Amino acid sequence: MLLLLLCLLVTLMSVGRHRSGDSSQLRQLQLCRHEMQHFVRVLHEYIASEVVTVSWHEFEAELGRHLAGLDDLRRRHLAYLHKCRFRFELLRAAMFV
């Protein structure tokens, strides 16, 4: 989605160079693009924070179980980090659909 908005910006900039008479319409289009880009970024940040929150609660539940030692804590923490990374990669891949 962000790639699409970037392409739109490049197109608007090239149109703006060729047509200086319709600057009010071009400005409206740029404002619309900016609002869409802002919405997409805010939505992405919200989803990312949800990924961290869900993963953190799962990690806390894991910590609630008996720990066999420091190695067990380290293993659980690494599993938490891998889960976050995997979910973020899914999120990042979904952005370009």
Q: Give pLDDT, residue 16.
A: 59
The tokens describing 16, both together, are 């703006």
Per residue in 64-80, pLDDT tens? 999 899 999 999 999 99
Which long-range contacts does 14-21 make (Cβ < 8 Å, 24+ apart)?
none
Q: Which residues contact 26 (CB under 8 A, 6 or more apart)?
A: 12, 15, 16, 19
Q: Give the mean model confidence (pLDDT) for residues 6-10.
A: 69
Q: What HEC string does the chain produce?
A: CHHHHHHHHHHHHHHHHHCCCCHHHHHHHHHHHHHHHHHHHHHHHHHHHHHHHHHHHHHHHHHHCCCCCHHHHHHHHHHHHHHHHHHHHHHHHHHCC
Per residue in 33-49, pLDDT tens? 888 888 888 888 888 88
